[in-house]
Amino acid sequence: MHTLTRKQKEILDFLLNSQDDFLHPPTLDELCAAMGLKSRGSMHHQIKALIDAEYIEPSERKQRGIRLTARAKSLIIPADTNALPFVGVIAAGMPIEAIENITYMTIPEQIKTENPCYVLKVKGDSMVEEGIFDGDWVIIEQRSHARNGEIVVALVDKAEATLKFIEQYPHETLLIPANSKMEAMRYKPQQVEIQGVLVGQMRSYIHH
């Protein structure tokens, strides 16, 4: 668990409070200028610590910049304390991209934990035998570890996310569907990152 220094928290708070002020992810120089700091080297050191803590990440675009992660955005607490960040769509089938497009949903307190959580919408039918259907919303407790047999959000090859049971062994990691028509997906342990564990679920019966 990373503990932020006062300066690192100050930079993170600035990014959280001013993210709408930048048309593109700010560069180190732009961040220094915006915060009135002269030492680019010192800023680089603080930014590296925030990257290690998984609060920010380098922009994947051609222009270099710094953007907030879903973990950082989950720190923005709306007035409704039962509102959780809704961060997009998760595959309950073949992996698809998890979209980080942050809005908020009000969630009953009974189906979330005291730890940071977020909401994903399910796409696909690979978890139907566990009662998780296409279009359901799942509440995910954000953490990077899980016990074998838990349902997790797994990021595969740092590119695609999926909702599956997980079984972890020294030589391989299995992502297992709850659909007898589908087979488990097998990966090397280093290919799979756990982004959270299922703690709750919601469903709408309204047809739009």
How many structural domains does the chain have? 2
The yes-or-no verdict on residue 134 having pLDDT over 90 is yes
Active site residue 7: no
Q: For the segment 152-177, what is each residue's pLDDT rounded down to a tens digit? A: 999 999 888 899 999 999 999 999 99
Active site residue 164: yes
The yes-or-no verdict on residue 127 having pLDDT over 90 is yes
The reply to whether 104 and 142 lie within a common domain is: yes
Grade residue 45 by pLDDT with cuts at 50, 70 and 90.
confident
Query: Which residue among the candidates 38, 48, 59, 164 is catalytic per the annotation?
Result: 164
Q: Are 140 and 194 in contact (CB under 8 A)?
A: no
Residue 11 belongs to a domain with what CATH number? 1.10.10.10
How far apart are the C-alpha atoms of 137 and 110, rounded to whole Å? Answer: 15
Q: Are 12 and 23 in contact (CB under 8 A)?
A: no
Query: Which residue among the candidates 7, 38, 39, 126 is catalytic per the annotation?
Result: 126
The reply to whether 93 and 40 lie within a common domain is: no
Which one has a higher pLDDT value, 115 or 128? 128
Task: Output the average pLDDT for the chain.
Answer: 84
Residue 88: predicted pLDDT: 78
